[in-house]
């Protein structure tokens, strides 16, 4: 199989009009190399053919030379321009269709990402609610245990004093006062040191949620302070922070929740508010370890501080 031989002069004329060589060759071949106008007519009739821009192949070469001089008429130029315009519009339609398809895919991907984020937020919220429920149950058991022990101690005291057992139907005013005092002295919501630290970090992140880099820098700085003290508890330089230090103010001091977090770790303000100082006798490794764990959790959990209950 070989490319058919067509009239070179007509081929050059068609290419000069903007037709690709495969299309021009195919048009001349199938129009019989009769004329330029016949070739253009063939292109118009077959413009939607899937193989119109494929070079034709034939078993036998055809060598035809036209004895005539072909001239490009104004009508031919108009038809050629119409074909180019039509082809251009067709490409524009296809490109717009492809762009719409890409936009749909972007929207679908964004929707999938949003759904995944919502699932993670829901899981985080459920975990938090479960933790709060567990804390309340523990508080209730502790309160009941204390009340039971007080009652037991009272029975023992009455027994030692030789007093008869108290009637369960009547409670003395002193007993009611004692019970009321106990209930009011027990907080309805026990706030552990870890929870207080967690709330400081949540507050810090919520108040600067549009500046993630600054929040992460604050968490990293706090972790360095805590880590240095845990590794070198006897080094006073790690337990003393100058409040007027511009670097400290930029990274921690000016962020709501940062100073409070350090105070929960045991730091105290010195007279004149010149330093934050952690006394040697108040270094508590358990508190420092808790602080380190809370900071690492806040740095690794992408949804930390974004939920509130």
- Map 81-125 to HEC letters: HHHHHHHHHHHHHHHHHHHHHHHHHHHHHHHHHHHHHHHHHHHHH
Share of the chain above pLDDT 70, in %: 86
8-16 and 36-45 helices cross at what angle (nearest 10)?
A: 60
- Are residues 239 and 228 in contact, defined by beta-carbon separation less than 8 angstroms? no
User: Rounded to the nearest 5°, which phi and psi values hold at 52?
Assistant: -65, -25
Q: How far apart are CA 73 and CA 77, in angstroms?
A: 7
How far CA 273 is from CA of 28, 117, 277, in Å, comes to 96, 43, 10
**For the segment 36-75, what is each residue's pLDDT rounded down to a tens digit?**
888 898 988 888 888 888 888 877 544 555 555 556 677 8
State residue 226's pLDDT score.
94
Q: How far apart are CA 176 and CA 167, in angstroms?
A: 14
- Are residues 59 and 33 in contact, defined by beta-carbon separation less than 8 angstroms? no
pTM of the model: 0.40
State residue 99's pLDDT score.
92
Whose structure tokens read 């008429």? 73
Whose structure tokens read 């699932």? 119
pLDDT at 180 over 50: no
């Amino acid at each position: 199989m070989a490319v058919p031989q067509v009239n070179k002069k007509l081929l050059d004329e068609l290419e000069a009009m903007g037709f690709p060589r495969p299309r021009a060759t195919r048009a001349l071949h199938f129009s019989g190399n009769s004329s330029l106008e016949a070739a253009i007519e063939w292109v118009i009739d077959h413009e939607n053919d899937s193989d119109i821009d494929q070079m034709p192949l034939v078993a036998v070469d055809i060598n035809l030379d036209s004895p005539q001089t072909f001239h490009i008429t104004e009508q031919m130029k108009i038809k050629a321009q119409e074909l180019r315009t039509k082809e251009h519009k067709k490409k524009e339609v296809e490109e717009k269709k492809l762009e719409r398809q890409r936009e749909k895919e972007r929207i679908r991907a964004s929707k999938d990402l949003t759904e995944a984020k919502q699932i993670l937020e829901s899981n985080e919220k459920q975990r938090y609610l479960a933790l709060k429920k567990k804390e309340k149950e523990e508080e209730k058991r502790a309160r009941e245990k204390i009340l039971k022990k007080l009652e037991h101690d009272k029975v023992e005291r009455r027994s030692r004093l030789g007093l008869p057992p108290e009637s369960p139907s009547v409670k003395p005013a002193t007993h009611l006062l004692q019970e009321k005092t106990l209930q009011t002295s027990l907080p309805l919501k026990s706030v552990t040191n870890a929870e207080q630290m967690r709330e400081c970090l949540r507050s810090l992140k919520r108040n600067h949620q549009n500046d993630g880099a600054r929040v992460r820098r604050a968490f990293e700085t706090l972790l360095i302070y805590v880590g240095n003290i845990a590794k070198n508890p006897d080094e006073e330089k790690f337990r003393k922070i100058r409040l007027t230090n511009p670097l400290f103010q930029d990274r921690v001091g000016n962020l709501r929740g940062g100073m409070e977090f350090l105070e929960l770790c045991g730091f105290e303000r010195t007279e004149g508010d010149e330093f934050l100082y952690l006394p040697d006798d108040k270094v508590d490794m358990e508190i420092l370890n808790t602080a380190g764990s809370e900071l690492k959790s806040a740095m690794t959990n992408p949804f930390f501080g974004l939920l509130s209950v």
